[in-house]
Amino acid sequence: MKYELVVFDWDGTLLDSAGAIVHAIQAACRDLDLPVPEDARARHVIGLGLADAMRHAVPDLPPESYPVMIERYRFHYLSGDHDLLLFDGVPEMLARLKAAGHILAVATGKSRLGLERALDHSGLRPLFSASRCADECHSKPHPQMLQELMLEFAMPEAATVMIGDTSHDLLMAQNAGVGALAVTYGAHPHDHLLDHAPLACLHNVPELDAWLKKNA
């Protein structure tokens, strides 16, 4: 087993939620009469902690307005998150990895409350041994989430792989000294992911699962 610890991003990697996040950011801006970011700008911030995401998506927003912006974002996102679906094949892939002896973990820009809600709603909680969130660690691309997960399981960098759909995931992996896999069906475009030299770019969950079967 080359990669004993397999760490997944959540939004855009396991859950098909990128479109809902973009909609929630844009709707929150409309609520507050702020300039509405284009889709590409809103998609770029997916994976960051909420404060960092708002800072990049709405650069003219004064820091004292972050709390109300975040509240409006959460209102719009949570109003429809129960309708979001896992990408096809995700539960089966995770179950196979766990049965094969891999340690599975999550490193996400979601809050702890948001991830706990998502784990329960998706039914995936029993498959993960640990998780780290942006409100308890530095936001991506800081390596703290991966560093803490490796420390928790006494796992070296060479035995750890990070899987995500954004450049923030890939940069976090680089900063932590671990390999990274990019998936192209989430938030960031293929060419943007290739710029960060992942081990591979996979275009759907079956491709990801096949790569992990062969190489992990």
Reported as half-sphere exposure (CB side, CA atoms, 13 A), residue 89 has a value of 10
The verdict on whether omega for the bond into residue 141 sits within 30 degrees of 0, i.e. cis, is: yes
Q: What is the DSSP string of 142-156?
A: STHHHHHHHHHTT--
| Nearest partner of 133 among 151, 148, 152, 155, judged by Cα | 148
CA distance 156 to 147: 10
Residue 165 annotated as catalytic:
no
Angle at 79 between CA 114 and CA 24, to 5 degrees: 80
Residue 11 annotated as catalytic:
yes
Per-residue tokens: 98: 């766990």
Give the residue numbers annotated as catalytic, written as ranges.
9, 11
